[in-house]
């Protein structure tokens, strides 16, 4: 199945967490502009996203980001076919900034509005990396807020196979980075610090949750790291244990445990469903060790693994405009008074 090219020019808007983004995409694929303004620096001091700061950051950024996206695409408002925006899930105050901007522009420019699910958009980001699609896929969405496996039968049809019982993989990496005194966001910080490390230095027990489970649980891995650093019980007053591995090895080993768990679960989901193609999207999918580990498992098992392009793994609006095109083509429009949903 391939997308008809040259049809449907959409402006996409994303503001669900701490990236303000706008993009213009034609036909669900051809990215004419793709502007992302990250708030990482504003949240770094707090070691995580502060909702109040995020909302205010979006308010400051939304107008210039929108302007830049329209200018870079060299598109006039009247050329647009629709405006797509993330309506769920995410931080309430953050979602409201993007959706209010989208509603205002849709009203002023008399354009149809499309409300997009952020997680489905992460899946679409992976689809955007290929010229043609062969459904069904087993899909892994692995981000700061979510770690879920789906069976995907079209850009708009996803059946949940399993999700995390506690922390998302990105959340586990962010918390691990905090324990290790590394910066926010934790995923890239651990990737950099562990780049030269030995992934076999520390053997973390992989949280596979029994032989058939398609669920995830990463909080135990984080506790195991804490005990590795501070000793049994993880008491902070206890001095670091003598002989603890170098930081690079700790980071590489922790990252490898997360990557290996995710890869094995993808293979397990393929075996359980009889599907032989894997789609991978979400911020953590940017991780090079995860991409290499998953690709190696897929090769061994005769599976095809499709990853979102690195720049489209983390939050962006190209994936919102892209998925918005699928909704728009199917006539799935949203009224001007649609609501947002945090969960
Ligand atoms: O998709 P995303 O931008 O936002 C959510 O929808 O959550 O994902 C953010 C998450 C954070 O937890 C961040 O640490 C992680 O993605 N992340 C990475 C990398 N880049 C971002 N994790 C591992 N390696 C990376 N290179
Ligand atoms: Zn996201």
For helices 186-193 and 169-179, what crossing angle results, to 10°? 60
What value does the mean pLDDT take over residues 98-119? 98
Token pair of 285, please? Answer: 């999918």
Give me the pLDDT at residue 81, please: 98
Reported as a pLDDT band with limits 50, 70 and 90, residue 2 is very low
Gap from CA of 119 to ligand 2 centroid (Å): 7
User: What would the pLDDT profile of 284-294 be if each residue is shown by its tens digit?
Assistant: 999 999 999 99
Closest residue to atom 22 of ligand 1, CA basis? 187
Would you state the pLDDT for residue 236? 53
At 48 the pLDDT is 84
What's this model's pTM, rounded to 2 decimal places? 0.94
C-beta separation of 8 from 79 below 8 A? no
How many angstroms does the Cα of residue 201 sit away from the middle of ligand 2?
A: 31
High-pLDDT (> 90) share of the chain, %: 89
Q: Mean per-residue pLDDT for 52-58? A: 95
Question: Which residues line the pocket of ligand 1, CB cutoff 6 A?
Answer: 17, 143-145, 170, 173-174, 185-188, 191, 282-284, 286-287, 314-315
For residue 107, the CA-to-ligand 1 centroid distance in Å is 34
Residue located nearest, by CA, to atom 3 of ligand 1? 314
Neighbouring C-beta atoms of residue 307, cutoff 10 Å: 22
- Confidence (pLDDT) at 3: 41
Distance (angstroms) between ligand 1 centre and the Cα of 286 equals 7
The ligand 1 atom nearest the CA atom of 16: 6
Q: What kind and span of H or E run contains 152?
A: strand 147-154
**Model confidence over 120-166: pLDDT tens digits?**
999 999 999 999 999 999 999 999 999 999 999 999 999 999 999 99
* Ligand 1 nearest-atom number relative to CA 310: 26
Residue 222 CA to ligand 2 centre (angstroms): 21
Cα 329 from Cα 183, distance rounded (Å): 42
pLDDT, average across residues 333-340:
97
Q: Which residue has the tokens 């200018």?
A: 71
Residue identifier of the C-alpha nearest atom 2 of ligand 1:
283
Q: pLDDT class for 45, splitting at 50, 70, 90?
A: confident
Among the bound ligands, name the one nearest to the CA of residue 283: 1
Q: Which ligand is nearest to the CA of 184?
A: 1
Across 3-16, average pLDDT: 81
CA of 174 to the centre of ligand 1 (A): 9
User: Hey, which residues does 33 pair with through a beta bridge?
Assistant: 24
Mean pLDDT of the chain: 94
What are the structural domains, with CATH classification, of the chain?
A: 9-121+315-329 (3.30.420.40), 130-307 (3.30.420.40)
Look at residues 101, 196, 119 and name the one whose alpha carbon lies nearest to residue 160: 119
Of 97 and 47, the structure prediction assigns the larger pLDDT to 97
Which residue of 14, 54, 283 sits with most ligand 1 atoms within 8 Å of its CB, as the best mutation to test the pocket? 283
Ligand closest to the CA atom of residue 170: 1
The upper half-sphere exposure of residue 207, i.e. CA atoms within 13 Å in the direction of its Cβ, equals: 21
Long-range contacts of 132-135 (CB under 8 A, 24+ apart): 132/1, 132/2, 133/1, 133/2, 134/1, 134/277, 135/1
Q: How much distance in Å is there from the Cα of 262 to the middle of ligand 1?
A: 14
Distance 315 CA to ligand 2 centre (A): 5
Least confident of 98-102, 195-199, 233-237: 233-237
Report the residue among 116, 120, 187 best suited for mutation to probe ligand 1: largest number of ligand atoms under 8 A from its CB: 187
Q: Say whether pLDDT at 6 is over 80.
A: no
Q: What is the pLDDT of residue 245?
A: 82
Percent of the chain with pLDDT over 70: 95
Instruction: Please report how the helices 51-73 and 92-109 are oriented relative to each other, as an axis angle in degrees rounded to 10.
Output: 30
Express each pLDDT in 229-270 by its tens digit. 887 766 554 445 445 689 999 999 999 999 999 999 999 999
Classify residue 62 as exposed, middle or buried by CB count within 10 Å of its CB (0-12, 13-18, 19+).
Answer: buried
The 8-class DSSP code of residue 32 comes to E
- Statement: residue 5 has pLDDT above 60: no
Instruction: Please choose from 143, 145, 163 the residue to mutate so as to test ligand 1's pocket, defined by most ligand atoms within 8 A of CB.
Output: 143
Give the atom of ligand 1 at the shortest distance from the alpha carbon of 173. Answer: 14
């Amino acid at each position: 199945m391939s997308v008809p090219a040259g049809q449907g020019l959409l402006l996409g808007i994303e503001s669900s967490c701490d990236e303000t983004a706008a993009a213009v995409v034609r036909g669900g694929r051809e990215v004419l502009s793709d502007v992302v303004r990250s708030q990482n620096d504003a949240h770094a001091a707090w070691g995580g996203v502060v909702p109040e700061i995020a909302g205010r950051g979006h308010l400051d950024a939304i107008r210039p980001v929108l302007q830049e996206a329209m200018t870079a695409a060299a598109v006039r408002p009247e050329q647009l076919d629709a405006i797509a925006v993330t309506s769920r899930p995410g931080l309430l105050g953050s979602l409201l900034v993007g959706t209010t901007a989208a509603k205002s522009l849709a009203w002023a420019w008399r354009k149809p509005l499309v409300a997009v699910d952020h997680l489905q958009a992460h899946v679409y980001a992976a689809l955007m990396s290929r010229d043609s699609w062969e459904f069904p896929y087993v899909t892994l969405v692995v981000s700061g807020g979510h770690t879920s496996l789906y069976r995907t039968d079209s850009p708009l049809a996803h059946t949940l196979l399993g999700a995390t019982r506690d922390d998302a993989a990105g959340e586990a990496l962010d918390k691990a980075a905090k324990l290790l005194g590394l910066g926010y966001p934790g995923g890239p910080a651990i990737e950099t610090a562990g780049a030269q490390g030995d992934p076999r230095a520390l053997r973390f027990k992989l949280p596979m949750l029994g032989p058939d489970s398609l669920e995830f649980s990463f909080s135990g891995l984080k506790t195991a790291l804490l005990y590795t650093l501070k000793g049994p019980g993880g008491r902070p007053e206890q001095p670091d244990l003598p002989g603890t591995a170098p930081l690079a090895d700790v980071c590489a080993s922790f990252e490898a445990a997360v990557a290996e768990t995710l890869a094995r679960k993808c293979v397990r989901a393929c075996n359980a469903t009889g599907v032989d193609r894997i789609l991978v999207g979400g911020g953590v999918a940017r991780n090079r060790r995860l991409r290499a580990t998953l690709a190696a498992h897929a090769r061994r098992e005769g599976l095809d693994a499709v990853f979102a392009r690195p720049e489209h793994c983390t939050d962006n609006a190209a994936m919102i405009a892209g998925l918005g095109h699928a909704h728009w083509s199917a006539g799935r429009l949203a009224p001007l008074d649609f609501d947002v949903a945090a969960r």
